[in-house]
Amino acid sequence: MSATRFSLLDWEAFKANNRHPAQPELLFTLTKHRNPGLSEHYIECFDGGFIECLSVGAHHSRLGLVRLPLRSAKHAMPRDQAADAQHLYDDRASKYDDSWHPRFARHVVDLLDLKPGEHVLDLACGTGLVTFAAAQAVGSTGSVTGVDISSGMLAQAHLKQLHANIENVTFHQHSITSLSNLDGVQGQQFDAITCASALVLLSNPTLALKHWVRFLKPGGRLIMDVTHIRSQLGHLTLERVGKRLAIPVPSYRLNFESPKEFEDLLSAAGLQELDIRLVSQAQASGHGQGIDAYVCDVNQPRIDRVYAVEDGQARFERLIVSRYGEALAADGGRDRARELFLEEWAKLANDKGEIEEVDGVFVGVG
């Protein structure tokens, strides 16, 4: 019997989002065995059930087999968020910097207003775009710790570090949703925590954020972002198709239908004095290269592109063969996914039959 292993934090996220309507209590019977003193404690998932596993040194035990009456095996398996992210970004690593991300990384660091000597934790650090900009800001008396699950992205970051001989940066390959057992992070507190272009990849951002703030010094700052709900409409439509089919795709933008939901997330984690801005990929004004030139009115985002309803077919064919769409095309599901995609795509049209795509990312600092 093959099984997939998930950390307890990922398991908690799955429970929060996937109560089974017929027998919700089954998903909650395993946690009574929790023992924080164990060296390893995780969940194994397989077709039709879950096993809670405890591991102490060479000893291994399994507790609490639970079987779920789900419609098919693929629905019995929660997505492994870390594995999804690794697959997505290993593929993109070599070309990731050929985009708007380097400029956005500078905006992130500008908004944090880092000071020399500060210590920064950069989550989902990728190729080190935010990491190295922050390292320059904090100087030789400060430090930046980068964490990412993608070996491909980290390979690019290590090459940059070696080439530039940057000494105040360390990198770790690790899931960003479970940091308590990570050397260099556990037991530490940081002046600032960054998470750029990654929050929408998490199935339970509330749980993740509450985990992260434990590593923030009193008075420290945390910055993160979410894509505007009207941006990247093809991916958004694919996510809605996945929701209708009960097949998750590796994106959770529907958690943030409005900037208010983003603000509520930050507030729920205890962050105060929130500053939320809508940042465009292209200049929103003609004044300089700083962050202010890219900030838009939150209620009046910049329209980046206008599609026709007929463009939905081409958008679907491009996305269904990507990492985002492969789960929807599996098991002969491509035709049904196409039907639903075109239906959801048409719903985006305004009274003129136009589909307006926004250029913008909400950035929050607290």
139, burial (CB in 10 Å: exposed 0-12, middle 13-18, buried 19+): middle
41: tokens are 């404690």
pLDDT band of residue 354 (cuts 50, 70, 90) is: very high
Which of the two residues, 57 and 340, has the higher pLDDT score? 340
The pair of three-digit structure tokens given for residue 346, joined into one six-digit string: 């048409």
* DSSP H helical ranges for 18-96: 81-92
Please state the separation of Cα 361 from the chain's center in Å.
Answer: 14
3-state helix, strand, coil in the chain (%, to 5): 40, 25, 35
φ, ψ of residue 200 to 5 degrees: the values are -75, -5
Angle, vertex CA 224, rays to CA 263 and CA 231, nearest 5? 80
Cα gap 262→216, rounded to integer Å: 19
Instruction: State mean pLDDT over 289-314.
Output: 89
User: What's residue 255's pLDDT?
Assistant: 80
Domain coordinates in residue numbering, the chain: 4-78, 83-303+361-365
H/E element, 313: helix 312-319
The C-alpha atoms of residue 215 and residue 232 are separated, in whole angstroms, by 32
Phi/psi region, residue 248 (left: phi>0; alpha: psi -120 to 50; beta: rest), is beta
pLDDT at 320 over 70: yes
Top-confidence residue, 186 or 14: 186
What is the CATH T-level fold of the domain 83-303+361-365, as seen in this structure?
Rossmann fold (3.40.50)
- Please tell me the predicted confidence (pLDDT) of residue 82: 67
pLDDT tens, position by position, 162-176? 999 999 999 999 999
pLDDT for the residue 13: 53
Q: What is the pLDDT of residue 85?
A: 75
**Alpha-carbon gap, residue 174 to 83, rounded angstroms:** 11
Kindly report, residue by residue over 152-164, the tens digit of the pLDDT: 999 999 999 999 9
In terms of Cβ atoms closer than 10 Å to its own Cβ (0-12, 13-18, 19+), residue 143 is buried
Global confidence as pTM: 0.77
**Per-residue confidence (pLDDT) for residue 81, from 0 to 100:** 62
CA distance 212 to 189: 10
Average pLDDT over residues 131-156: 96
